[in-house]
Amino acid sequence: MKAFLGMGLLGSNFVRAMIEKGAQVQVWNRTAAKAKALEAYGAKAFDDAAEAVKGADTIHLTLKDDDTVNEVLTMASAGFRPGVILIDHTTTSAKGAAERTAAWKARGYTYLHAPVFMGPQNALESTGNMLVSGDQDVIRKLEPELSKMTGKLINFGPEEGKAAGMKLIGNLFLLTLTAGISDTLSLAKALGISKADVSALFDSWNPGAMMPARLKRITEGNFQQPSWELSMARKDAGLMIEAAKHGGARLSVIPAIATEMDRWIEKGHGNDDWSVIAKDSIS
């Protein structure tokens, strides 16, 4: 029998998928109504976290942050059966994940941090990606359980907390990608270009295909053979900023990038590839 703590969009759909696969699941949420709603799908809801985990062999969590995970696990621990397995899908700090792994092991329990790149629909359909790292014997033991929940289980090796770090790295990229899209649409608005035309451009041209080569250039420190000189990229950034200002639009990302470009130009890198602005990140 399983228990699941945290019935947000992700957790509730994980529970629905588990039940569809034949599992018995006991659920808890701080807002009790969210847990109660899962009873329509066959879950058993509890108002008390310690009661929700009684009898469970495996306890899953999807909560807010490190502090919430620590608080809820402490509340629930009065109901833990000996040797229970704790699988935490919350996005947390790498330090917190490593500390919890050690702390719960010292108390006789297995804690595995398994964050995900999954939306609610992925959780319901058991698609997307789940990340793990740490004790490889534990991961091998839990792989059948975790593989049922996701399209792809990615193992980052024996380092505790590394999966948490990789999740934050991925989320950082998503945040900057979305901010870049926002600036793109703001500039289009300032230039009187429709959203449909912007979509048409990216239907035909996929800059995401450049990602592996760009990452390779940066990680290898290969900036002396430019495909786009920093000084020329800075000129274009200036054109973007001026066009947005003239059109009454606000850019949030490009001005910060322009400032970083100026710093590297002042250091004598104007003729290098523009990706030299990432040099500090690899040194």
Starting at the edge strand found earlier in the chain, the sheet holding 85-88 runs 44-46, 25-28, 2-5, 58-61, 85-88, 110-113
Q: What is the CATH number of domain 2-159?
A: 3.40.50.720
Indicate if the alpha-carbon torsion angle 65, 72, 23, 31 is positive or negative. Answer: negative
What's the angle, vertex CA 180, arms to CA 241 and CA 258, rounded to 5?
40
- Give pLDDT, residue 283: 80
Nearest to 69 by CA among 53, 51, 88: 88
40-94 per-position pLDDT tens digit: 999 999 999 999 999 999 999 999 999 999 999 999 999 999 999 999 999 999 9
Which segments in the chain show pLDDT lower than 70? none
For residue 76, the model assigns a pLDDT of 98
Give me the long-range contacts of 173-181 (CB less than 8 A, separation at least 24): 176/253, 179/252, 179/253, 180/253
Q: What is the pLDDT of residues 127-144, one digit of tens each?
A: 999 999 999 999 999 999
Sheet holding 129-132, edge to edge: 116-117, 129-132, 152-155
* Helix/strand/coil for 267: coil
Contact 280, 267 (CB under 8 A): no
CATH topology of domain 166-281: N-(1-d-carboxylethyl)-l-norvaline Dehydrogenase; domain 2 (1.10.1040)
| 187 to 111, 200, 230: CA distances (angstroms) | 47, 16, 21
| Count of CB atoms situated within 10 Å of the CB of 211 | 11
- Taking a C-beta distance cutoff of 8 angstroms, is the pair 278, 261 a contact? no
The answer to whether domain 2-159 and domain 166-281 are alike in fold is no
- Please give the C-alpha separations between residue 215 and each of 39, 49, 220, 278, in angstroms, as whole numbers: 47, 45, 8, 10
Tokens of 177: 């990608």
pLDDT value of residue 179 = 97
| Residue 15 three-state SS | helix
For every residue of 161-193, DSSP letters joined together read THHHHHHHHHHHHHHHHHHHHHHHHHHHHHTT-
Burial profile 26-52: b = 16 or more Cβ within 10 angstroms, e = fewer: bbbbbeeebbbebeeeebebbeebeeb
| Domain ranges across the chain | 2-159, 166-281
| The pLDDT of residue 37 | 98
The whole-angstrom separation of Cα 10 and Cα 12 is 6
The pLDDT assigned to 165 comes to 98
Structure tokens at 165: 């770090």
pLDDT of residue 221: 93
